[in-house]
Structure 1
Amino acid sequence: MKINSSEQNIANVLARFESALEPELVTAGAKAAASEIKAVLLDLYRRQGPQKDLLQKLIESGNELKKDIEQFLRSEAPQTNGLGHAATNLNCFDDLAQHYDKLSTQLFLLLEELRTTPQESAEVAKLMRRGAEWEVAYFEGIQKIPVEMPSHVDLLDPPAPELSHEYLQRFFDGKIPGLQVKKFERLSGGHGKQTYLCTILRPDGTTEDRIIRKEDPCPVIVHPQFGLEREYALLKALNKIDFPAPKVYEFGKQIPGPDGVDGAFATMQLLPGAIPSNFLASGGSKFSEDLLLHMAEVLAKLHSVPLEIFSDYFEAWEDPNIAKQTTRDRYQNCLEQWIEYSQEFEHLPSAYLVWILDWLLKHIPEDSRAPVLVHGDYNVHNVLAENNRMTGLLDWETADFGAPEQDLAYIQPLVSKSMEWSKFLQHYHACGGKEVDESRFPFYLAYGVLRVVLAFNRATLNLQKRWSPDIRFNMVELGYQAVFMRMGLSYTETAPS
C-alpha cells in the first residue's frame, strides 16, 4: 500500500499547527518559538521540491567555478571527479546536500590556495568574488522560493461549512421553537465520526447537555452500512428496550452550499461516566475485574436483544428476512458485499486486503444459528464506566447481525490480561449469553480486522488525494495500521475448525 510522502506529512503538520496550536499561544516567548518552528517546517517542506532544484543548479555552477579556478592555478584543464554528473541523478535533498558540502570544501581549499598565489591580477579578484557569491546564493535563494501549500480538495459541490453553533441554532429553531444552544464545542477523538458537546436551554428554563455525532465530510468508509443515518436508525430501534446505549433524538442531513453543513449529524443523550482507556493504551493496561464482569453481563444482554424490535430497521436497511438466515449465510453475504465495496470505491492497492478477503472467504465457519445483534467494536475504548460499572456503550457504526463469537473474540485478549477468561465467559453464560464455540474465534477476529484495514486504507487515500487535511489520519501509518495488520496475521495462524 502506498505510504504518505514527506511533503504531504509536513504540509499536514503545518496546517494543524496553524489551526489548532498557534491560536492558543499567548506569551511572547511561545509565539516566538512558534514562528521559529514554522520556519523550520517550511524549510523542510521546500526541501521536498524547489529547494532541490536550487541545490542542483548550485552544484553545476560550483563545478564550473572549481574548473575555472583549477585551470587558472594549473594553467591546464583539470581532471573532473564526476561530482556534478553524479548529482544530476539524485532526487533526495540530503544526498544533494552531501555533494554540495564536498564541493563547498573543495572550493574553500582552492580559494585558500588562490589567496596565497603570488600572482596579483583582476582575474584572481574575480574568482575570489565568484566563490563568495556562490556561497551566498543558497541562503538568498531559499528566501526567494515561494511556498505553495497544497490545497484541500472539497468533495461537496458546492462546498459547505462545518457544523457550527449558528447552524445548530437554526436547526433547532426549525425543530423545537424557543430552544437555545448555550454552549457548543468539538470533542477530541472519534476517527470514524466527529463528536461535539452542546448545552441547550429549554423554554421552561431547564438545561441539558447533549452529544452530537456527525459524519466526516470525507468518511473513511463510504459503505452505506457505516453511515450515520443507518447507525441512528439502529439506535432508534434499540432505544425501545432497556439497554445502556445513548438515546437518539434529532437527525440532520448533509446540505451542500454556503448555508448548509458538510455532513449529516444526530443529537443524542450524554451518558454519565468516563472511557477507561483509548485503544492503543488499552493493550498495556489492566482493568478491574468488577468492570470486566459487568461488561460480560451487558454483552450477554446485547446478544439476547429480540430481533423483532428491528423490523422497521430491517425494512429500510437490511434484508427483511435476515432473522431467517443462518449465521454462516450472513457472513458469506457480508463478505461478498465488502468485496463489491472495495472494487466499487477507490482504495489504495493492497496485498494485505487481497490476502485477508481470500482467507475469510475460505474459512467461514459452518453455523446454522440465527444471527444476533453484535456491536462489532466491543472494548473498553467504546465503554463509559463509573464505579466499575458500565454506564454506556458507544460508537455503533460497526454494529451488525452475526455471531456472538465476533464480540467475544474481540475482547478476549484484553480480558485475559486482567482476569481468567473462563471466569468472564462463565459470567457471560450465567447472564443469559449464547453458547460459544471458541474454535471459531480466528475467523471473527480476522473479520473485524478486515473492516478496520479497509477504513485505514481509505483514510490514507483521503490524505494522499487531499480530500481530507485531518492530521489524525497520519496515525494510521504511524500506529494503528501495524497493530491491526499484525492482529490479522496472528489470529489466522490457526484456522478455525
Structure 2
Amino acid sequence: MDSDKRRLLAAIGESMVRMASRYGIPASDMNHAALTTAVVELLRREETDAVKAFYSTGYALALRLAEMLRQDGVAAADIARLHRLPQSIEESANFASSQDLLVELKEILSSLISRSGYPSDPNAGLANVISSLCSWEGDHHKVAPSSAPKTQKRYDFPQMLESSARAQAGAFEGAQVVETTRLTGGFTNETTLFKLADKNGRIWDLVARANTGLVFGIDGRDIAGEFHLLRYLYQGGVSVAEPMWLERNVERDGTKFLVTRKVEGENFGTVVEAQRLNSSQMQALAIQLAKIHTLPLNEAHPDLQRSHIDMELAGGSMTEGLSNYLERWIRLWRSTGLENSPTIEATLNWLRANIPGVEDAAVLVHGDYALHNIMMQGDEISGVLDWEMSHLGNPAEDISGLLASFSNEEDAEEFMRFYIEAGGRPITVFEREYCNIFRYFMLYVVTLESQLRFYSLPDVHIEFLVLGSYIQHPAQRMAQAIEDAEKAKSHQ
C-alpha cells in the first residue's frame, strides 16, 4: 500500500475519534459511525497481507476437516476441489484476486460441513475444527459486491400520500400533505412521518409504511397483512399505533402502504445501542410482552385471516412454530445468493438438531421486541412498532433478544419476574440459549444483506453501511453461543 495514502486514511480515522471525544458524539450517531466504518474499510482493503494470512489459516483448517471426512468416505468431490486450490496466496496477488480465492475456499468449507454429519457426529475433533472455523470466519469478514438487485421506479411519495388520503373521503376530502420526514432503516418497508391538513384545517400526525420494492432475500410480509394484524392488536388492547387506512392501489400509487396515527414518545434504544431502564419501565415492558404472548387468537376473525400470521399453525406446539420460523429463515438465507459461510452451515445443522421440545401451544411472537421498536412516554409504553416479522412460535424468541440488550443479569432476572407475574410462561435456560443462537443467525443474514445493499445500490442511506459492519458480532459469537447452549442442555 502507498505509505502516503495509508497515513492520510489513518489520520482521518484518528481525527474522527478525537472529534467524537471532544464533542460527545454518541456511539449511535449514524453519520459519525458511517464515516468511521468507511475509513476502516478503506484501510482494510489495502492490507492484502492480512487477507493472505487469513486464507492460509482457513486452508489449514479445511485440510483438517477434509482428512476427517476422507476417513469416513464422504465429500470426495469437495476434497478434490480443495486440493486444486493453492495452499497460500501469491505475494503479488491484489485484494480482488485474493477475495476470489477466499470466497471459493469458504464455499468448499460450507459444503464440507454440510456433509460432515455435525452436530450428530460424536467426533469431538470435528466439533473442535468447526468451532475454530467459526472463530476464523468471525475474525475477518467481507461481502464481495455482487450484481445490483432490481428496483422499482421511485415515485413522488408526498403526492402518493395526498392522493391516497383524499380517496378516503370524509374529513380527508381535499386534504393536503404539509410536511414529510422519511426515516432511515427498514429492510423490507420504509417509514415516512407526515402531517396532513384535512378540509377543516385540522392537522393529523400520521405515519406511512410502504413496501420498498427492493428484491432481496429478506422478503418481508405483505404490508396489507401487517395492517390487518395491527387492527386485530389494536382492538385487543395491545399498545400499537392506531391503524387508519390501507392503500392497495398499486397502479395509481406505485406501491402498497399502510397509514397509522403517529405514536408519541421516544425510543430507549437503537439497533446498535440501548439505554438502561428503571424498574417501572422494565415492568411496563414485561407486562406488554406478556399481553402479546397471552393474547387470544380468534382464528375466525377476518383481520387475523387476512394478516400475515400463518393461522394453520394455530393450536400447534411451540416446537412446531419455532421449527416453521427457522425453516423460513433458512429459505431466506439460501435465496440471497450471497457467499457461502462455514459458520452458518454449522449453525443451521445445530439449530435443526436441537429445537427445544415444548408442547405448549404456539403464541403470537413479535419477532423483534427490542428497545428500538418500543416507544415510551415516561414509564409507560405508548406503542410497539414494526410487526412485519411477527409469527406463531415460542415466547423465548422475543425474550432472549430483549434480555441480550440488558446491561447485567440482575436486570434480566427482574424482567422475568415481572413477566411471569403478568402471566407469561417461564422459559428454560436452554430455550433462551437456543434462541440466542437463532438470533445470531438472523442478525448474520440481516447484516450481510445490509452490506450488499450499500455496495449494490446507489440510493440507500449510510445506515446500511454501519449496520452491515456489525456482521462480525454474530460471526464471532456463534461458536461460544453453541457451547453455552450445549452446557445448558446437559443440565436440563
Residue 274 (structure 1) shift = 0.5
Displacement of 1:92 in angstroms is 7.0
Q: Structure 1 counterpart of 2:232, which letter? A: A
1:446 and 1:488 in contact (8 A); partners too? yes
**Corresponding residue number in structure 1 for 2:168:** 175
1:186 to 2:182 alignment = yes
1:343, 1:418 → 2: CA distance?
Answer: 35
Please give the secondary structure, in 2, of the residue aligned with 1:279.
Answer: coil
- State the Cα distance separating 1:377 from its structure 2 match: 1.4
| Conserved? CA contact 2:149–2:215, under 8 Å | no
Pick one of 206, 210, 229 that aligns with 1:210.
206
Structure 2 CA distance, aligned partners of 1:446 and 1:311?
A: 34
Q: Which residue pairs with 1:107 in the alignment?
A: none
The CA deviation string for residues 120-149 of structure 1, in whole angstroms up to 9 with x for no partner, is xxxxxxxxxxxxxxxxxxxxxxxxxxxxxx
CA distance in 1, matches of 2:354, 2:214: 33
Amino acid at match of 2:373: N
Report the CA distance between 1:189 and its aligned residue.
Answer: 4.1
Distance 1:91 1:347 in 2: 22
Counterpart CA distance in 1 for 2:339 and 2:303 is 33
Partner of residue 385, structure 1: 376
2:343–2:478 contact (8 Å) kept in structure 1:
no
| Equivalence for 1:296 | 286
| 1:172–1:326 distance in 2 versus 1, CA, 3 Å | same
C-alpha contact 2:180 2:195 (8 A) present in aligned 1: yes
TM-score (ref. length: structure 2): 0.63
**Residue in structure 1 matching 2:223, options 193, 211, 228:** 228
Structure-to-structure mapping, 1:25-424, within 5 angstroms:
91=94, 155-156=150-151, 159-176=152-169, 177-218=173-214, 221-224=217-220, 226-253=221-248, 255=250, 260-261=253-254, 263-282=255-274, 285-308=275-298, 311-312=301-302, 315-316=305-306, 317-415=308-406, 417=408, 419-424=410-415
Contact 2:454–2:464, Cα closer than 8 Å, also in 1: yes
Q: SS of the counterpart of 1:353?
A: helix
Give the distance between the partners of 1:358 and 1:392, measured in 2 at CA: 37
Amino acid at match of 1:196: T
C-alpha change, 1:379 and 1:477, in structure 2 (3 Å) is closer
Once the two structures are superposed, the pairs formed by residues 430-441 of structure 1 within 5 Å of their partners are 430-441=421-432
Amino acid at match of 1:293: Q
| Aligned equivalents of 2:204, 2:196: Cα separation in 1 | 5
Max Rg structure: 1
1: CA distance between counterparts of 2:244 and 2:298? 22
What are the Cα deviations for residues 405-433 of structure 1, in whole angstroms up to 9, with x where unaligned? 12122222333538443332122111121
Letter in 2 for 1:268: T
TM-score, scaled to structure 1: 0.63
> 2:184, 2:265 → 1: CA distance?
16
Residues 237 and 314 of structure 1: is their aligned pair in 2 closer, same or farther, counting only changes over 3 Å?
Answer: closer
The letter for the 2-side match of 1:244 is S
Q: CA separation of 1:242/1:213 partners in 2, compared to 1, >3 Å: closer, same or farther?
A: same
1:443-465 Cα offsets, whole Å, 9 max, x none, are 11222232232222333333444
What amino acid sits opposite 2:160 in the alignment?
Answer: Y
Rounded Cα–Cα distance in structure 2 between residues aligned with 1:440 and 1:181: 48
| Amino-acid identity (%) | 20
Distance 1:463 1:218 in 2: 13
Structure 2 CA distance for aligned equivalents of residues 437 and 90 of structure 1: 51
User: Which letter does structure 1 place at the counterpart of 2:214?
Assistant: C
Contact 1:452 1:484 in 2 (8 A): yes
Which of 1 and 2 has higher RCO (CA within 8 Å, sep 6+)? 2
Distance in 1 (CA, whole Å) between partners of 2:345 and 2:222 is 24
CA distance in 2, matches of 1:91, 1:365: 47
- Cα gap change, 1:251 to 1:490, in 2 (>3 Å): farther
Corresponding pairs, count: 352
Which amino acid in structure 2 is aligned with residue 434 of structure 1? R
C-alpha contact (below 8 Å) 2:299/2:314 kept by paired residues: no
Query: In 2, distance between residues paired with 1:289 and 1:219?
Result: 42
| Residue 186 of structure 1: how far off its partner (Å) | 1.3
Return the offset for 1:371: 0.7
AA of the residue aligned to 1:170: S
Give, in angstroms, the shift of residue 333 of structure 1: 2.4
The answer (yes or no) to whether the contact 1:348–1:458 under 8 Å persists in 2 is no
Q: Which runs of 5+ in 1 are unaligned?
A: 1-9, 11-36, 49-87, 94-149
2:342 maps to amino acid = A
C-alpha contact (below 8 Å) 2:187/2:218 kept by paired residues: no
Note if 1:474 corresponds to 2:470.
no
Mapped contact 1:178–1:202 kept (Cα < 8 A): yes
Q: Residues 447 and 309 of structure 1: is their aligned pair in 2 closer, same or farther, counting only changes over 3 Å?
A: same
Contact 2:149-2:216 within 8 A present in 1 as well? no
Task: State how far apart, in whole Å, the 1-side matches of 2:409 and 2:324 are.
Answer: 36
Q: For residues 64-112 of structure 1, what are the alpha-carbon distances to aligned partners after superposition, in whole Å with 9 as ceiling and x for unaligned?
A: xxxxxxxxxxxxxxxxxxxxxxxx956579xxxxxxxxxxxxxxxxxxx
Matched residue SS, 2:337: coil
Q: Any idea what SS the aligned residue of 1:376 has?
A: coil
Give the whole-Å Cα distance in 1 for the aligned partners of 2:474 and 2:95.
32
Q: CA deviation at 1:217?
A: 2.7
Q: CA offset at residue 381 of structure 1? A: 1.4
In 2: Cα distance, 1:461 partner to 1:188 partner: 17
- Residue of structure 1 equivalent to 2:12: none
